Structure 1
Amino acid sequence: MAIALFILAGFLVGGVIQLVKSGATKFSIGLVGALAALATAGGVLWSLP
């Protein structure tokens, strides 16, 4: 499950990069960035023993 969360986080970080390049609103960039951070934190916490 941790690997799936890290893959999801990678897709979301890529989405943040594309949103910044396209000049999206700061709210949408922040929202997707927060979801990426949550997915990364979930992957780290899931991989702990």
Structure 2
Amino acid sequence: MSKDLIWIALMALAGFLIGGAYSMWKTAKPLAVLLGVGALLAGAGAVAWMF
């Protein structure tokens, strides 16, 4: 697996998780917060992997 593919996949995962957090905010705030934290971790991992 190439290094570029890994950070792109992590960014895609972060986007997916942030979308889930946004859509769940009105119904299940604790779960939305967990999804947001996961999105932040995936985004930070993507940035770290890129450099």
Name segments (4+ residues, structure 1) moved above 3 Å.
none
Q: 1:12 is aligned with what amino acid?
A: L
Unaligned runs of 5+ residues in structure 2 are 1-5
Q: 1:46 is aligned with what amino acid?
A: W
Q: Provide the alpha-carbon RMSD of the alignment.
A: 0.9
Unaligned runs of 5+ residues in structure 1 are none
Q: 2:17 is aligned with what amino acid?
A: L
Q: Give the structure-2-normalised TM-score.
A: 0.82
Report the count of equivalent residues.
46
Instruction: Name which structure has the greater RCO, CA cutoff 8 Å, separation 6+.
Output: 1
1:1-49 per-residue CA deviation (whole Å, 9 max, x = no partner) reads 00000000000011011102xx22321111000000000000000000x
Q: Give the structure-1-normalised TM-score.
A: 0.85
Q: 2:7 is aligned with what amino acid?
A: A
Over the matched positions of the two proteins, sequence identity in percent amounts to 43
